[in-house]
Amino acid sequence: MSKITFLGAGSTVFAKNVLGDVMMTPSLQEFELALFDIDSARLKDSENMLNNLSKTSGSRCRVVAYSDRKEALRGAKYVVNAIQVGGYEPSTVIDFEVPKKYGLRQTIADTLGIGGIFRNLRTIPVMLDFARDIREVCPDAWFLNYTNPMAVLTNVMNTHGGVKTVGLCHSVQVCVSHLFKDLGLDDTGVQSKIAGINHMAWLLEVKKDGVDLYPEIKRRAAERQKEKHHDMVRYELMNRFGHYVTESSEHNAEYHPYFIKRNYPELIERFNIPLDEYPRRCVNQIEGWAKMRDSMVNNESLTHERSHEYASYIFDAMETNTPFKIGGNVMNTGGLIANLPREACVEVPCLVDASGVTPTYVGNLPPQLAALNRTNINTQLLTIEAAITGKKEHIYHAALLDPHTAAELSIDDIVSLCDDLIEAHGNWLPAFK
């Protein structure tokens, strides 16, 4: 029996989406669904949920929970990664509260910025442990990474882990549909092209029947900006730089130096920026899970409809050799995006079939978009340098080059903040020289 291994299977709702999709896919019926999580209670919850779902769906997939990670991986053909190292408490709380002492505010802090840097630093060692196990017990497996920070972790697994890895993010999948819904447009039959880096990929083309829809999009967006709404940052970026960006306004507010500024507090109100948004979401999710747990975990009548998550479609394409197009995070090998660094991880259209994941060539991004991407890539690559070398100076470099952090703090304060975060995270971080 072939095996799909899910690391971080205690993420029960996400496991239901991904592995429930597998159960709905005819070509994947003979697979073992191997579950692993360091939280044994959450692992048991997901096992119960999936066993109930298997019965109601009539799936022939076999659900097996493992207490040994290497055994969960042994012989796997596909590996899905959905871990979060350090969780909400203590790590996410630290990532937000320590920078606040310096006057540095954040919204999500899971991709870039000072929070993204430190989430990377505590996650990369765990990912490299995964890579060592994979090279030993399932060296030919495809690794599907859903964990943020997406670009850095996918880069590390490919470059330093020696594992065939593609990073998958929801923002590409929903970019056009959400934009059109917000502007009251019909996206039926719309053709689009998206490329860039994760959470900062660009809607390069958007057409219907050969007609460029950007003029109408921009006209409607300008009208929307006259009143407060949830996507004001992205519409402002589109107005100034010419293209819509894939990830949400709350994310992009902290990827740029223009929006969250102590000396211009009115910008927070003007662009409707939700500071401390991610901690609020965490609290709400924790409370929500407590209310819904029993109805999902112990529901013997639980059902599932196949979602739009890429994973099962990727597995199916590889198993049946039926081509499927995704927006994937891959290395910029051969200069897929010619005006971005080749050592960067980029987000581009990819073709999936029995031969694996084949990225497509994009060429040059518009120069202003490539320039914005490079400001984020600088911090990403230096964060990797810090994690691989163990040198504290590269943590400083990564933070000093982060657009939002550098716009708000002095050199001395940035270095001091990094030191405080290293101390606060304690054993969650490796030792830095």
Of the candidates 170, 308, 394, 404, the residue annotated as catalytic is: 170
**251 noted as active-site residue:** no
Q: From the CB of residue 61, how many other CB atoms can be counted at a distance below 10 Å?
A: 22
Q: Is 61 annotated as a binding residue?
A: no
- DSSP labels, 253-282: TTTSSSS--TT-THHHHHTT--TTHHHHHH
**How many Å is the maximal CA-CA distance in the chain?**
61
Spell out the residues 6+ positions from residue 184 whose beta carbon is closer than 8 angstroms to its own.
220
User: Residue 209 burial by CB count (10 A; 0-12/13-18/19+): exposed, middle or buried?
Assistant: exposed
- DSSP labels, 308-321: S-HHHHHHHHHHHT
- Between CA 122 and CA 10 the distance in angstroms is 19
How distant is the alpha carbon of residue 422 from its chain centre?
A: 23
Phi, psi of 256 (to 5 degrees): -130, 160
Q: Is 199 annotated as a binding residue?
A: yes
Of 197, 192, 189, the closest CA to residue 169 belongs to: 197
Q: Report the b/e string of 180-201 with b at 16+ CB within 10 A.
A: bebbebebeebebebbbbbbbb
- Between CA 337 and CA 340 the distance in angstroms is 6
Which residues contribute to the annotated binding site for Mn(2+)? 169, 199
Active site residues: 170
Which residues contribute to the annotated binding site? 148, 169, 199
Which residues contribute to the annotated binding site for substrate? 148
